[in-house]
Amino acid sequence: MSEGSHGPRIAVAVVTMGNRPVEVDALLASVAKQDVAPARIVIVGNGCPLPEFPGLPGEVTAIEVEENLGCPGGRNVALRRLHEFGDVDVVVELDDDGLLVHADVLRRVRDLFAADPRLGIVGFRIADEHGETQRRHVPRVGARDPMRGGPVTCFLGGGHAFSLRMIDEIGYWPAEFFFAHEETDVAWRAVDAGWTIRYEPGLLLQHPRTSPARHAIYHRVTARNRVWLARRRLPLPLVPVHLGVWLALTLVRTRSRAGLRAWFGGFAEGLRQSGGERRPMRWRTVWRLTRLGRPPVI
């Protein structure tokens, strides 16, 4: 990894649909207050026009795309532009309704990547305005303590940092997923390639308390992408096990008949349609994920 005089060079990437202008302004103001300025800021208008963004540190690039490409597709636009620039080493990707509460986040990210050349992903802690972290945002099976950091098998899409050298090796976000499970696809590829994923609870992104089911497409794409994820990344014997576990969990957890109908429709869609190239992880990666507390059937 090429570095500046004080360590890896940091970029910040934000994707917005243009429906949260107040929140985006607040997020960018929190980026501007960081005690280490980003070398570049890339803002992607995902199917929407962008306003001017005066007063931000570093080089600011605004990119407008004609249609909504989804979370992973929009982030790929930013990543590709940063690769074209070729002058940053790490990208911090933030949800457009998030907020960096502390001013040392980028400095701490820089220091973490400087200390470990095989660190691929750093996951932030996400908490609401009351400082509470939803259990689904703790990246360990059954974990209740959001303040326990260390090596993990997954990360949160709302706030994280990527090594661009890792992205060069494993590839971009799975744009075809549009929304849901794209983080797991990236995480499994990273672990399979020998990169480390680290959860750092001291890196806080304040984010409104939400439910993923607020999205109208949630049940359908969650099921479709779960099938795609298994077909793309798991050794063949584990595919039916993984999908069977999630089928059982869905039947237990989902109370809505309409939600279940949408889920089974998405499941069938995932079986009928291709979710991309099949490149299953190695069995030693299965064992590594298991030792880290999340076997890839859960």
Q: What is the mean pLDDT of residues 221-233?
A: 97
pLDDT beyond 90 at 56: no
**93 pLDDT exceeds 60?**
yes
- Per the CB < 8 A criterion, the answer to whether 201 and 146 are in contact is yes
Tens digits of per-residue pLDDT, 238-265? Answer: 999 999 999 999 999 888 899 999 999 9
Q: What is the pLDDT of residue 255?
A: 86
Pair type for strands 119-127 and 159-163? antiparallel
- Taking only the tens place, the pLDDT of each residue in 125-183 is 999 999 999 888 888 887 789 999 999 999 999 999 999 999 999 999 999 999 999 99
Average pLDDT over residues 95-101: 97
Residue 81 has pLDDT above 70, yes or no: yes
By DSSP bridging, strand 40-46 and strand 10-16 are parallel
Q: Is residue 213 pLDDT above 90, yes or no?
A: no
Over residues 284-292, mean pLDDT? 97
179 contacts: CB under 8 Å, gap ≥ 6: 70, 71, 72, 215, 217, 218, 221, 225
Mean pLDDT, the chain, rounded, equals 94
What is the band of 298 on the pLDDT scale with cuts at 50, 70, 90? confident
* Structure tokens belonging to residue 259: 């939600």
For domain 10-210, the CATH class is alpha beta
Task: Report pLDDT digits (tens) over 109-124.
Answer: 999 999 999 999 999 9
Model-level pTM? 0.94
Predicted pLDDT of residue 214: 52
96 token code pair: 């457009």
Asked whether 158 and 96 are in contact (CB, 8 A), the reply is: no
Structure-block tokens of residue 287? 């064992």
> How many CB atoms are closer than 10 A to CB 82?
23
| pLDDT average, residue stretch 44-48 | 97
In the chain, the percentage of residues whose pLDDT exceeds 70 is: 96
pLDDT of residue 58: 80
User: How far apart, in whole angstroms, are the C-alpha atoms of residue 135 and residue 143?
Assistant: 7
Q: With 60 as the cut, is the pLDDT of residue 216 above it?
A: no
H/E stretch holding 62: strand 59-65
What residue type is assigned to position 160 of the chain?
H
| Ranges of each domain in the chain | 10-210, 216-280
**Residue 11 pLDDT more than 80?**
yes
The pLDDT assigned to 211 comes to 64
